[in-house]
Amino acid sequence: MLKTERQAYILRQVDLHNRVLSSDLSAAIQVSEDTIRRDLNELADMDKIIKVHGGALSKSFHSSFLKADVYQAESKKLIAQKAVSLIRKDMFMLSTGGTTVIEMARLLPEDLTATFFTGSVPAAYEYAQHPNIQVIFLGDKISKSSLIAVGGEAISKINGIKADLFFLGINAMDISGVSDNDWEVVQVKRAMIQSSQQTVVLTISEKLNTNQRLTICDLSEIDILITELDPQDPMLKPYRDAGITVL
C-alpha cells in the first residue's frame, strides 16, 4: 500500500467515524503504530484532522460553525486579553455567552487547564475546542434570542455551583447597574452572580451608559469591569468610583 493511499484511507475512517485510535488503524492496515502516528501528524499538519492522544478526530465536525464576528473585533481581542489574565490554573469558571465572551474563549491559551460552566450553546462550543478545558453545560430550555439555557432547572443547577470567577457578557450597563430585556435571561444571570466569588463584566464601551427594562444587578455586585478602553479613561470613572476594579 502506498503512503498516499494509506493516508487517504485514514482520512476516510476519521471522517466516517469521527474518531479513530492509532492502534485500530495500525491493526487494520497492518503497519506499525509508529507509521500511523507519523501519518496522523502529517494529516494534522495539513489541517485535515485533529490529532489527539491515542488517535485523531474529524475536523469537519469541529471546524467552527460560528462565523467570527467581525464587529469591533479588535476591541474584543483587547478585552479578551485582559480577561484571560484573570484566569488561574484549575479555576472553576462560570460564563454566559455573548460575542465578547466567545471572542475571549477563542483566545484562551492552549496550556490553560480549567473548568468552565456555561449554559450558552456557542460558548460551550468554543470552550470545547480547547484541549485542556473541561466544559460543563448547564442544560434546560434554550432561549432562541440568546442561545442560552434558561429555566428553573438551569437555575437550580447554577445554585449548586461555587465558582471562582464569572465572566458576564452584557447587553446594557450604566451607573444604576446591569440590565437586560429578557426576563428568563435575567434570572439566569442573577443566579450566576450569586454562585461565584467574583463577577467580571466583559463589554465593549458602546454598551456602557445604556440601559434596558430589566435590572440584573446593581454596580455593587460587579467586582471587575473590562472594556477595550484604558482603565483611566474618563468614561469609566463612574464605575471606578462605584468601587469596581476597572481593567
Partner DNA sequence: AAATAGTTTGCGTTTTTATGCATAAAAAAT
Partner DNA sequence: ATTTTTTATGCATAAAAACGCAAACTATTT
Q: Which chain residues interact with a copy of itself by CB under 8 A?
A: 2-5, 7-8, 11-12, 15-21, 50, 52-55, 57, 60-62, 64-65, 68-69, 98-99, 119, 121-122, 124-125, 127-128, 131, 134-142, 144-147, 149, 154, 157, 171-172, 181-182, 206-207, 210, 212
Of DNA, a copy of itself, none, which one sits near residue 15, judging by CB under 5 to 8 A according to partner kind? a copy of itself
Q: Which three cell numbers stand for residue 5?
A: 493511499
Q: Which is nearer to a copy of itself, 148 or 232 (CB)?
A: 148
Cell 440584573 sits on residue: 216
Cell 440590565 sits on residue: 179
CA distances (Å), origin 12, targets 25, 38, 52, 60, 118: 11, 17, 17, 12, 34
For the segment 9-48, give every residue that binds DNA (CB under 7 A).
21-23, 31-35, 37-38, 41
Q: Which is nearer to a copy of itself, 65 or 89 (CB)?
A: 65
Of a copy of itself, DNA, none, which one sits near residue 195, judging by CB under 5 to 8 A according to partner kind? none
Determine the size of the site formed for DNA (CB under 7 A). 19
Q: Work out the end-to-end distance of the chain between its first and last CA atoms, rounded to an integer number of angstroms.
A: 58
Are 163 and 94 in contact, with CB atoms under 8 Å apart?
yes
Shortest distance, CB of residue 154 to DNA, whole angstroms? 19
By CB under 7 A, residue 237 contacts DNA: no
Map residue 195 onto helix, strand or coil: coil
CA distances (Å), origin 79, targets 117, 216, 229: 20, 22, 9
